[in-house]
Amino acid sequence: MDDHSPDAHAIECRNLWKIFGQRHLEVLAAARAGRVDKDAILEEFGCVIGVADATFSVAKGEIFCIMGLSGSGKSTILRHVNRLIEPTAGSVLVNGQDVMSLSKGELRALRAHKIGMVFQHMALWPHKTIADNVAFGLEVQRTDRKACRDSAEEALEKVGLDGWGDRYPDELSGGMQQRVGLARALAADPDILLMDEPFSALDPLIRRELQDEFLALSEKAHKTTLFVTHDLDEAMRVGQRIAIMKDGRIDQVGTPETIVLYPETEYVARFVSSISTLKYLSASEIAVAGEVASDAPTIGPDTPLPVLIEQLANGVDHLAVRDGADLIGRIDRPEILAAVGRDLARR
Amino acid sequence: MDLAILLDPFATISMPLSDWANDSMRWLTSNYRGIFQAIKAPVKWLLDLVEDGLRGAPQTVLLALAAAIVWQVVNRTTAILTLFAFAAIGIIGAWDAAMTSLAVLTTAVSISALVGLPLGILCSRVNWVWAIVRPVLDFMQTIPSFTYLVPVILLFGIGNVPGIIVTAFFATPPLVRLTNLGLREVRADLVEAANAFGASPLKRLWSIELPLARPTIMAGVNQTVMLSLAMSVIASMISVAGLGRLVLVGISQLDLARASVGGLGIVLLAVVFDRVTQGLGFTRRDRGNRGLWEQGPVGWLRTQVSNRQPLTNE
């Protein structure tokens, strides 16, 4: 997954450290030497480690989720991408360019043209109309008024709010406000979207609705998205890959399937234990070695569990799992039951 | 002897503060009088401009103009209030004095705004500037207003222009304070959002921070105007003309008639100015999503013109 050619990466973080506090450099040295106890570090240096040695990359067009509890440093990482926060050490590359090497003007251009951001508490400007809110990013780029209006209207249309341009933010419901937030981020047609817990302030139903809308939009627009959330279900629904963070460190990066099926640390295992593995299991994980009859139907290793159940329920004796010509194993009813049993046992 | 010092120390030990004050003032006046005189020139120019206009124009024209301006920037009700207040000032015989006071007030408030707003903005941006300015403001706001008069007389002399300077000096601190406060209180995430969309510091200040701080800043402007009015009687002690002088003469000669005319005149001006500065704080939102030029007399004229458009086309 990680071995794309470098120019395919839209965002790349290399050994990123962020330490808040006066004596951040001393803490950096201590932490690099292996001290990890955050309470002791706060006591001794009065510093807080926000991000510790984070390395990951996001491919062009990918939706990458950063998941962690509050205070785990996920929003801090996000803010490094458009340099709202400056790193203590390490580097952040956007489209192959180190953001720390940019001048003030270049940085503003990057923020205005290439990166759109959506905020947890919407952060719409209450004194501006919806249309003016959405058009702000374009206004900053000195686009002429007519073009600003048109792009703003277009962006509002994308999120289903056409005709609301002359209203003010507090006349809209929370869900509608966050749609405006999304429209504002999309208005300048950036390559990259930074989403900082965009749906966490919303009711569960509205949240789901907006997740679906975002996914639909994303399918069409194909924007590289860094999506921060503390909600594992949301991360699993939205993210193509997920990074799980704990105390400023990235514990594991992987697809939703790998995270659920093969957690690398105890923390991740505990986190994903509430999620059923059944949705992510495929034939290759269920199959056992054994003889297969010549008339047994052949299925591919990635066949999902529901398809297996359906075939077996149709009266087939057993299934042969083959990757091309190679036999991987066989699946019969006991194997299905064992998989269900394992899933129940881990919770 | 030693015991006496311990028991009554101030009989023997003293700091010659009054001598120091005298010496430093003498040093200032003898070396820098030119500078202080030079400061007077632009103030005098502005005052003359405003005062000539106010006193030279016919009363009816001024009444109409005042009402029209207030209607434009605030609303029709306040315009009617202004009309009545100014008419009342005229009827009680305080017109000329009120026009002088108005000129002094307008000039003093303009100077306060010209100094106070930029200084307040600077204080909100740069912490060490605020650390220096803050105790100075505390000092300026706690010394009794009469105390200002002495150094002003020595440095600037007496008359309307020194009066304006002392008034502006007295009235500026709340504007600096509230501008700084208003800008610092703008929600951090709204500022961050402006940064995230690539706004330059100036653009951010102009289109996000200042509009959001506007209610607080306008409260500061309102304070400045009210303090300037409150200063008008005190400033008349250094021979500033206007309504304040009527009150001062009333006090010194126990002339209730004059004191009431002057006092009522100040109250009426205060009411009008209070309403107008509050109206200036209205946002587009408060006006029902209408711009400043879409309401009042100008707005009315514009609708008349645009209504006529289809007729000319036919």
Q: Is A137 on the interface with B (CB under 8 A)?
A: yes
* CA angle A118–A123–A126, rounded 5-degree value: 140
In a 13 Å sphere around the CA of A42, the CA atoms on its Cβ side amount to 6
pLDDT by residue (tens digit) across B6-53?
888 887 778 888 888 888 888 888 888 888 888 888 999 999 998 888
Q: The CATH number of B18-47+94-279 is which of 3.30.450.270, 3.50.50.60, 3.90.1150.10, 1.10.3720.10?
A: 1.10.3720.10
What per-residue confidence (pLDDT) applies to B196? 95
User: Is the pLDDT score of B176 beyond 60?
Assistant: yes
Q: Chain B residues with CB inside 8 Å of A194's CB?
A: 196
Give A134→chain B minimum CA distance, Å. 10
Report the Cα A118 to chain-centroid distance in Å.
Answer: 13
Q: Chain A residues with CB inside 8 Å of B211's CB?
A: 127
What per-residue confidence (pLDDT) applies to A4? 46
* Contact state of B289 with A125 under an 8 Å Cβ cutoff: no
* DSSP-derived pairing of the beta strands A241-246 and A63-67: parallel
The chain-wide mean pLDDT, for chain B, equals 88
Mutate to test the interface with A, among B187, B197, B286 (most CBs of A within 10 A): B197
d(CA A88, CA A80): 10
pLDDT by residue (tens digit) across B61-102?
999 999 998 888 888 889 999 999 999 999 998 888 999 999
CB contacts < 8 A (A, B): 62
Q: Chain A residues with CB inside 8 Å of B201's CB?
A: none
From edge to edge, which strands make up the β-sheet containing A249-254? Answer: A115-118, A192-196, A224-229, A63-67, A241-246, A249-254
Give A105→chain B minimum CA distance, Å. 8
Q: Chain B residues with CB inside 8 Å of A127's CB?
A: 211-212, 214, 283-285
* Contact state of B197 with A125 under an 8 Å Cβ cutoff: no
User: Is the pLDDT score of B58 beyond 50?
Assistant: yes
* pLDDT confidence band for B54 (50 / 70 / 90): confident
* Contact state of B195 with A111 under an 8 Å Cβ cutoff: yes
* Contact state of B198 with A111 under an 8 Å Cβ cutoff: yes
C-alpha distances in angstroms, B4 versus B8, B9, B11, B12? 6, 7, 9, 9
Work out the average pLDDT over A184-197. Answer: 92
Give B176→chain A minimum CA distance, Å. 23
User: What is the domain partition of chain A in residue ranges?
Assistant: 56-272, 283-345
Q: Is A110 on the interface with B (CB under 8 A)?
A: yes
Q: Chain B residues with CB inside 8 Å of A170's CB?
A: none
User: Is the pLDDT score of B301 beyond 90?
Assistant: no
* Contact state of A140 with B199 under an 8 Å Cβ cutoff: yes
* Contact state of B195 with A168 under an 8 Å Cβ cutoff: no
Q: Is B215 on the interface with A (CB under 8 A)?
A: no
What per-residue confidence (pLDDT) applies to A2? 43
Coil/strand/helix, residue A335: helix
Q: Nearest CB to B196: which of A84, A139, A168? A: A84
Q: Of all residues in chain B, what percent carry a pLDDT higher than 70?
A: 96
The chain-wide mean pLDDT, for chain A, equals 89
Query: From A120, which residue of chain B is nearest by alpha-carbon distance?
Result: B189
d(CA A229, CA A66): 6
Element containing residue A66 per DSSP (H, E): strand A63-67
Q: Nearest CB to B198: which of A112, A121, A166? A: A112
Backbone angles phi, psi at A255, to 5 degrees: -70, 160
DSSP assignment of chain B, as one string? -HHHHHHSHHHH----HHHHHHHHHHHHHHHHHHHHHHHHHHHHHHHHHHHHHHHHS-HHHHHHHHHHHHHHHS-HHHHHHHHHHHHHHHHTT-HHHHHHHHHHHHHHHHHHHHHHHHHHHHHHH-HHHHHHHHHHHHHHHHS-GGGGHHHHHHHH-SSHHHHHHHHHHHHHHHHHHHHHHHHHTS-HHHHHHHHHTT--HHHHIIIIIHHHHHHHHHHHHHHHHHHHHHHHHHHGGGT--SHHHHHHHHHHTT-HHHHHHHHHHHHHHHHHHHHHHHHHT--TTTTTS--GGGSHHHHHHHHHHHHHHHHHH-
Query: From B204, which residue of chain A is nearest by alpha-carbon distance?
Result: A140
What per-residue confidence (pLDDT) applies to A241? 95
Q: Is B138 on the interface with A (CB under 8 A)?
A: no
Q: Chain A residues with CB inside 8 Å of B207's CB?
A: 136, 139
* Contact state of A112 with B207 under an 8 Å Cβ cutoff: no
What per-residue confidence (pLDDT) applies to B308? 62
d(CA A184, CA B190): 13
Token pair of A121 as six digits? 């508490």
Per CATH, domain A56-272 is 3.40.50.800:
no
d(CA A308, CA A336): 8
* Contact state of A166 with B285 under an 8 Å Cβ cutoff: no
Query: From A194, which residue of chain B is nearest by alpha-carbon distance?
Result: B196
- Say if residues B46 and B165 touch (Cβ distance below 8 Å): no
Work out the average pLDDT over B217-240. Answer: 91
Best mean pLDDT range from A137-146, B115-124, B230-239, B260-269: B115-124
In terms of pLDDT, which residue wins out, B178 or B57?
A: B178
List, in sequence order, every beta strand (DSSP E) within A184-234.
Answer: 192-196, 224-229
Q: Nearest CB to B197: which of A126, A137, A166? A: A137
User: Is the pLDDT score of A32 beyond 50?
Assistant: yes
What per-residue confidence (pLDDT) applies to A7? 58
- Say if residues A320 and A330 touch (Cβ distance below 8 Å): yes
In terms of pLDDT, which residue wins out, A113 or B302?
A: A113
Work out the average pLDDT over B132-151. Answer: 90
Q: Nearest CB to B196: which of A117, A124, A126? A: A117
**CATH no. for A283-345:** 3.10.580.10
Q: Nearest CB to B190: which of A117, A125, A139? A: A125
Query: From B215, which residue of chain A is nearest by alpha-carbon distance?
Result: A127
Backbone angles phi, psi at A159, to 5 degrees: -100, 10
Q: Is B186 on the interface with A (CB under 8 A)?
A: no
Coil/strand/helix, residue A70: coil
C-alpha distances in angstroms, B3 versus B9, B10, B50, B66? 9, 13, 65, 72
d(CA A186, CA A158): 9
What per-residue confidence (pLDDT) applies to A51? 92
* Contact state of A127 with B212 under an 8 Å Cβ cutoff: yes
pLDDT by residue (tens digit) across A96-139?
899 999 999 999 999 999 999 999 998 999 999 999 999 998 88
- Within the 189-208 window of chain B, which residues sit less than 8 Å (CB to CB) from chain A? 189-190, 192-200, 203, 207-208
Mutate to test the interface with B, among A125, A143, A148, A196 (most CBs of B within 10 A): A125
User: What is the domain partition of chain B in residue ranges?
Assistant: 18-47+94-279
**Which residues, at least 6 apart from B79, have a Cβ–Cβ distance to it below 8 Å?**
B67, B68, B70, B71
Q: Is A276 exposed, middle or buried (0-12, 13-18, 19+ CB in 10 A)?
A: middle
